[in-house]
Amino acid sequence: MRLKKSILIVMVMAILSVLTYGAQLEKSNENYDLIISTNVLKEETRYVDINTATLEELSNSGITMRQAKLIMDYRDKTGGFQNLQELKRIKGIGQATYDKMKLVLMIKEPAQRKPLYINEATDEDMKLYGLDKKYIKKIRKHINRYGRVENNMELIKLLPNSTYEKYKTIIKYDK
């Protein structure tokens, strides 16, 4: 009788062990996000290159999907970022958002600018390239009055020398 009780206790213990171990196995198969302090990451792991990151990489870095799409749109239109300050040119990204983004984004290599076709560009396009509102208004007024900006001699009359020098290689007049 004692032997039967001992065997019964051992069997109950074995069954409980198997059930507990199985529950642990099931729990270990759940998906968890790894949370690592930025202090322990290597610099190249900590940051995402804004000019080459995919939509998924941008959103995984803590940037919202909407902001990641805005960044991708900016890259498509301009060719990419030459510095992180350009983030503030994007409608919907202000100083507070920029301050958060600069903690996770970097630029390994400044992007080569796409041409800005001044006669076809919207005001928003010109803003994305960094032109001030007052110069955009002057350009728009000229285009509305004369139909287009014909060449660099007309453009230089619309922009101060420093601004003209900055943009003269990327502004194009015809596609």
* Domains in the chain: boundaries: 1-32, 38-106, 116-172
pLDDT bracket for residue 41 (50, 70, 90): very low
CA distances from 142 to 70, 135, 137, 145, 148 (A): 29, 11, 9, 5, 7
> Which pLDDT value is given to residue 1?
65
Single pTM value for the model: 0.69
Percent of all residues in the chain with a pLDDT value above 90, rounded to a whole number: 73
Pairing of strands 48-49, 105-106: parallel
Task: Give me the pLDDT at residue 137, please.
Answer: 98
The yes-or-no verdict on residue 78 having pLDDT over 60 is yes
Alpha-carbon gap, residue 69 to 48, rounded angstroms: 15
**Euclidean distance between CA atoms 40 and 23, whole angstroms:** 33
pLDDT at 12 over 80: no
Among candidate residues 134, 138, 140, 135, the one with its CA nearest the CA of residue 122: 140
Q: Has residue 34 got a pLDDT over 50?
A: no
Identify the residue whose tokens are 């301050």: 99
The pLDDT of residue 175 is 87
Choice among 25-39, 90-104, 109-123 with the minimum mean pLDDT = 25-39
Asked whether 152 and 172 are in contact (CB, 8 A), the reply is no
CATH class label, 38-106: mainly alpha
Question: pLDDT tier at 109 (50, 70, 90 boundaries)?
Answer: very high
Torsion of CA 117, 129, 57, 46, to 10 degrees: 150
Q: How far apart are CA 2 and CA 157, in angstroms?
A: 107
Cβ neighbors of 142 (< 8 A, separation 6 or more) are 149, 154, 158
Question: Does 151 score more than 60 pLDDT?
Answer: yes
Residue pair 122/96 in contact (Cβ under 8 Å)? The answer is no
CA distance 73 to 92: 13
Indicate if the pLDDT at residue 40 is higher than 90. Answer: no
User: What are the phi and psi torsion angles at 21 (to 5°)?
Assistant: -65, -40
